[in-house]
Structure 1
Amino acid sequence: MEFLYEYGLFIAKAVTIVIAILLALGGIVGIVSKQKQGKGHLEIDSLSDKLDAITDLARGELLTKEELKQYQKEQKKKQKTEKKGKKKSDDSEADKGRLFVIDFSGSMDAHEVEYLREEVTAILCVAKPEDEVLVRLESGGGVVHGYGLAASQLQRIKDSNIKLIISVDKVAASGGYMMTCVADHVLAAKFAIIGSIGVIAQLPNFNKLLKKSNIEFEQHTAGAFKRTLTMFGENNDEGREKFKEELEDVHHMFKDFVQEQRPELDIAKVATGEYWYGIRALELGLIDEINTSDDYILTANKDKSIFTVKYSMKKGLPERLGLAASLSFESLLMRLWSKGTNSFR
């Protein structure tokens, strides 16, 4: 019995030490992750090189040994010719221009704009007048201020006299279309969803549930319309009317923005909140061409050097452990509680 007692005591001490070490390590990792949080890096890769590698791989698999040998011989001959006329080749390469490719996949809160602004800034630091920017955009819309800022980031490219092309392979609706209409040229796949030029705001009201549970809710404001609708208080017609008035105002600003970017549009016809597929969107003037981003890039590769530009943020420990999602949800609830949300949908 004495042996078992001592053995149990030893096990308890060992477990305590292990837990203490794990807690200490967790604290150190937490501090390090906080220090690294917010640090990102820019990635620029040659898409032209990747396409050339894919082409070479396909040739290697599909051509016979004799055909491949003949092709390699022709390539060596071509390289020798280019070396002889190197200066001339360098001049033509300089005139070739570059195509910078950005991917934007927008969420409801449009937090991706933080990456977009870094990518646009990087491109504008090196871009020349003969260069172009292609944005592969996918978004069903979201909060007004987020997508408004995202559209302004794309406007920076146009203001710098760099041609801006936006390609929509799946969806660019509402706030997504607000970004899209900024482009000099808009491409979309045949069945991509385009449009939805409208505004929506919605929030639940728990006032009846609180009353049923004998729970009182107090809210104090200064200013007649500091709060129009509330989640927990009792809403009135005056607040509802003011809320609708604010939505209409945002919708008018949205329509004016689209009309300014694409003056040939019949804005009354397309700004009803409806969406259309690519084929119909072309007929209405919402886009300029039926095409996919893949085909546009393949065609551009014949005349331009193509580079992808991506800004990535290092994930901290909370994100890796899946805690960021719960924190974001909590902050979203707090925002809804405080003032409600307007969004492009």
Structure 2
Amino acid sequence: MELLADFAVNYGLFLAKAATVVIAIGLAIAWILSIFAEARAERDGDSLRITHVNDRLERMAETLNATLLNPSERKARAKRRKVEEKQKRKAEKLGKRHEPSRMFVLDFDGDIRASAVDTLRESITAVLQVVEPEDEVMIRLESAGGMVHSYGLAASQLARLRDSGVRLTVCVDQLAASGGYMMACVGERIVAAPFSIIGSIGVVAQIPNFHRLLKDKQVDFELHTAGDHKRTLTVFGENTEEGRAKFREELEDTHGLFKHFVAKYRPALDIDRVATGEHWHGSQALDLALVDEVSTSDDVMLAAAKEGRDVFTVAMHHKTGLVARFTEQSRLALSRVFAESGLARVVHRTG
């Protein structure tokens, strides 16, 4: 009986171990398959989302009119709409109907890395394939600026529209500063809300230095480079006046490029007057010719719809899986922490 009992115990332990191994392998396979499934969803799940703003505005108006108008007023309005539709169909039958120009509305909400540029470039590519000479593109822009090369690319995407002969309007409801204004200035027309923040045409770079702390703790740090100016300032090494001077020279060069870029698209602007790193509110920016009009993006779209133009919002939507979303959220969180603390940031920033 003891032998039978020992056999049963050992057999039970063997089954438990085997089950554990099988479960572990199954979980590993499921995890790998989920990664492939998410990758396939990310590759195949991109879609272009288009909203006809006129329809949304019409539904809003109908809802209000249904409540505010009395029965006779609603009847008169319905009769008037019926006559308008009849005239429109008649014009179409006679071939006299003129297709209204369209307005395509794209959004850009920028962070320090201008990471939304990937979505922006795809949306612009899509619009460029269908835009007609009489159409217009409006960018709703919000950005405090960030890395020079990132916002240089974002501005270049808007320049694609201008270079293709497309009318480009940039609307700023809250903020277009530094690299954000680098993008905004590409617009043929810049519209800013009265209290939006505009300008900050300047360049900033900051870097902590732990050399004295390391020296006090008797910790050596070595940095080897080839080239006199491969590294001008470092985080752990001892910085020199020569290195600081070269670093400031690079900042001035970048600022000069920034000023030249703005002056190219806004030739009437007194660039030396506004390229001091200062910022202004929308109504003040109008006086300085940083913007062309004080209004909001909502008013611009509403005016276009009232003119009989078709207004469409265009946005590229990327379907991402759980792993990708978690990774992206972690990256953005770390980016915000480093941006707020200024740690380990040597890259030049507009702003």
The TM-score, its normalising length taken from structure 1, stands at: 0.88
1:247 aligned to 2:251? yes
* 1:98-247 map, 5 Å: 98-247=102-251
Q: Secondary structure of the equivalent of 2:150?
A: helix
Choose from 299, 306, 312 the match for 1:307: 312
1:22 aligns with: 27
Offset, 1:156: 1.3
Q: Does residue 62 of structure 2 align to residue 56 of structure 1?
A: yes
Q: Which residue of 1 aligns with 2:268?
A: 264
Identify the residue that residue 75 of structure 1 maps to in structure 2: 81
Q: Give, in whole Å, the separation in 2 of the partners of 1:292 and 1:337.
A: 36
- In the superposition, relative to structure 1, how do residues 93 and 26 fare at CA in structure 2: closer, same or farther (>3 Å)? farther
- The CA deviation string for residues 39-95 of structure 1, in whole angstroms up to 9 with x for no partner, is 53222221112111221222223223343233223323332333233235x64342x
Equivalent residue, structure 2, for 1:44:
50
Contact 2:102 2:311 in 1 (8 A): yes
Contact 1:103–1:136, Cα closer than 8 Å, also in 2: yes
Instruction: Kindly indicate whether residue 93 of structure 2 is the aligned counterpart of residue 87 of structure 1.
Output: yes
Please tell me the residue identity of whatever aligns with 1:261. Y
Q: Percent identity?
A: 45
Q: Is the 8 A contact 1:30 1:317 kept in 2?
A: no
What is the distance in 2 between the residues matched to 1:190 and 1:107?
23
Cα pair 2:91 2:97 within 8 Å, conserved: no
Rate the CA distance shift 1:65–1:291 in 2: closer, same or farther, 3 A.
Answer: same
Q: CA RMSD in A?
A: 2.8
Instruction: Give the Cα–Cα distance (whole angstroms) in 2 for the partners of residues 75 and 34 of structure 1.
Output: 50
Instruction: Name the CA shift for 1:312/1:212 in 2 (closer, same or farther; >3 Å).
Output: farther
Counterpart CA distance in 1 for 2:104 and 2:96 is 20
Give the conservation status (yes or no) of the 8 Å contact 1:231–1:337.
no
Q: 1:293 aligns with which of 297, 312, 319?
A: 297
Q: Does 2:284 align with 1:280?
A: yes
Letter of the aligned partner of 1:308 in structure 2?
T
How much does 1:106 deviate? Answer: 0.8
- Give the distance between the partners of 1:255 and 1:209, measured in 2 at CA: 39
Structure 1's 163 and 208: CA in aligned 2 closer, same or farther, altered over 3 A? same
SS at match of 2:129: helix
Q: In structure 2, what residue type is equivalent to 1:239?
A: G
Instruction: Write the deviation string for residues 246-298 of structure 1: whole angstroms up to 9, x where unpaired.
Output: 00000011111111211111111101000000111111111111100001110
Structure 2 residue runs of 5 or longer lacking an equivalent are: none
Distance 1:18 1:27 in 2: 14
Describe the SS at the equivalent of 2:209. Answer: coil
- Aligned residue for 2:97, secondary structure, equals helix
Distance 1:308 1:280 in 2: 29
Q: Which amino acid aligns with 1:274?
A: E
Structure 1 residues 326 and 138: alpha-carbon distance in aligned structure 2, compared to 1, 3 A threshold: same
Tell me, what secondary structure is at the counterpart of 1:233?
coil
- Distance 1:337-1:295 versus aligned 2 partners, 3 A rule: closer
Aligned counterparts of 2:328 and 2:303: Cα–Cα separation in 1: 41
Q: TM-score, normalised by structure 2?
A: 0.87
CA change 1:203–1:35 in 2 (3 A) is farther
Offset at residue 22 of structure 1 (A): 3.4
Inter-partner Cα distance in structure 2 for 1:239 and 1:167: 41
Q: Secondary structure at the match of 1:126?
A: coil
Q: 1:113 to 1:218 in 2, by over 3 A?
A: same
Q: CA 1:72–1:231 in structure 2 vs 1: closer, same or farther (change >3 Å)?
A: same
CA positional deviation for 1:114: 1.2
Q: Report how far residue 314 of structure 1 moved.
A: 2.1
1:223 counterpart letter in structure 2: G
Report the number of matched residues: 338
What is the rounded CA distance, in whole Å, between the counterparts of 2:90 and 2:345 in structure 1?
A: 69
